[in-house]
Amino acid sequence: MYDSLYEPFIDDVDVVVHADHPTLNRRVAEMLAAGERIDVLSTHGKYTPSQAAWLRPLDALLDASTIATLAPRAVDLCRPRGALLCAPRNIDVRTLWWRTDRMDAAPDTWASLGTSAAVFGFTGRESGLFGLFFELVVGSGGSLFDAEGRPTMTGPEADAAVALLCDLAARAPVELPDWHYDDVDAALLDGRIDCAAAWPGGFGPIRASSVYGVLAPAPYFAGPSTRVSYSGVHAWAIRRRAATSTARSSSSRAFARSRCTSARPQPVASRRAPTCSPHSNPWTPPMPPGSRSPATRLITR
């Protein structure tokens, strides 16, 4: 989905893993446990806490001026327990896309979606399914965790969320429980569903598809209490062990700094995907002089 982000520097690094995020996380965990070399990895604010033991804090590595140009909330999401463990590269917020030739209008609320006949596609497992459950519960005024971080995933809001998920899944293709994000996008473009939420990285294929003329964006559904979109921030991180080599550490630092610089924001044209959503950093500058190093090993989504 985000392959176009890597095109400007693909020749400067050795990409050792390239996979969807659930697969990427599993492979990273295996490599870290086995002591295999990773210099730089593409991660996400929601995954960083579980990787914290292996990630090098970046506050002393990245110039304060570089961090100051980034969206403050995105930076906060990269600071579990205070330390900057990754550098944000783009903000992910979902947008609803719907078929104008099949639906009279885009439903504005989860309730109106539920009472309609529209076939809504969604991620049927892992983090995507959790995110949808989060949207439904919080949009109804509930909470998944208390102030101490303990699970509170019970109650009427959770019951209503499960009921709606079961109803929506019953209308959708039988393959839905196996879908990840890219599968949802493919189902929308193949005409197997009527509407779906897409990440910014899904826009390139949408724009290039044969059904683009009958697809329209709309605000994501609102719950009884508020409108919630499962969102976060993709980011670059440096493994602690990368610092054992001075040259490798310098190369990793230069890579991360150059990837999150926003000195000259401008849109990046790409058939595959737009690189960024608002408040992220579309400009991808060249690698700093002397930073090119075939020894830099990259793990990326």
Same domain? 88 vs 108: no
Same domain? 133 vs 148: yes
Same domain? 88 vs 236: yes
The per-residue pLDDT for range 15-33, each reduced to its tens digit, is: 888 777 778 888 888 888 8
Higher pLDDT, residue 92 or 285 = 92
144: domain CATH number is 3.40.190.10
15: domain CATH number is 3.40.190
| Under 8 Å between Cβ of 39 and 293 | no
Same domain? 195 vs 180: yes
Same domain? 121 vs 133: yes
Q: 164, 193, 218: which is the final residue of a domain?
A: 218
pTM equals 0.73
In sequence order, the 6+-apart residues with CB closer than 8 A to the CB of 269 are none
- Is 112 contained in some domain? yes
Residue 283 pLDDT > 50, yes or no? no
| Under 8 Å between Cβ of 133 and 165 | yes
- Is 213 contained in some domain? yes
Same domain? 146 vs 205: yes
Residue 300 pLDDT > 90, yes or no? no
User: Could you give the C-alpha distances from 55 to 62, 63, 71, in angstroms and in order?
Assistant: 14, 18, 21
Average model confidence (pLDDT) across the chain:
80
- Is 227 contained in some domain? no
Same domain? 212 vs 261: no
The label of the residue with tokens 């980011």 reads 235
- Is 223 contained in some domain? no
- Is 147 contained in some domain? yes
| Under 8 Å between Cβ of 235 and 89 | yes
What the block records as the tokens of 50 is: 């579980």
Higher pLDDT, residue 177 or 268 = 177
What the block records as the tokens of 80 is: 């579990």
- Is 225 contained in some domain? no
CA angle 206, 210, 212 (to 5 degrees): 45
- The number of folded domains in the chain is 2
| Under 8 Å between Cβ of 265 and 282 | yes
Same domain? 201 vs 264: no
Task: State the sign of the Cα–Cα–Cα–Cα dihedral 238, 259, 277, 83.
Answer: positive
**Structural domain of 253:** 3-92+232-300
Closest CA to 251 of 239, 234, 263: 239
- Is 224 contained in some domain? no
User: Could you give the C-alpha distances from 67 to 11, 64, 276, in angstroms and in order?
Assistant: 26, 5, 17
Residue 258 pLDDT > 90, yes or no? no
Same domain? 128 vs 72: no
Q: 218, 240, 275: which is the final residue of a domain?
A: 218
Residue 271 pLDDT > 80, yes or no? no
Same domain? 236 vs 212: no
Identity at 61, one-letter amino acid code: L
Closest CA to 88 of 42, 28, 53: 42
User: Could you give the C-alpha distances from 31 to 27, 58, 110, 245, 261, in angstroms and in order?
Assistant: 6, 22, 41, 19, 29
Element housing 195 (H / E)? strand 195-198
Question: What is the predicted pLDDT for the residue at 266?
Answer: 32
Same domain? 80 vs 129: no
- Is 247 contained in some domain? yes
Higher pLDDT, residue 281 or 154 = 154
Same domain? 99 vs 214: yes
Q: 218, 245, 279: which is the final residue of a domain?
A: 218
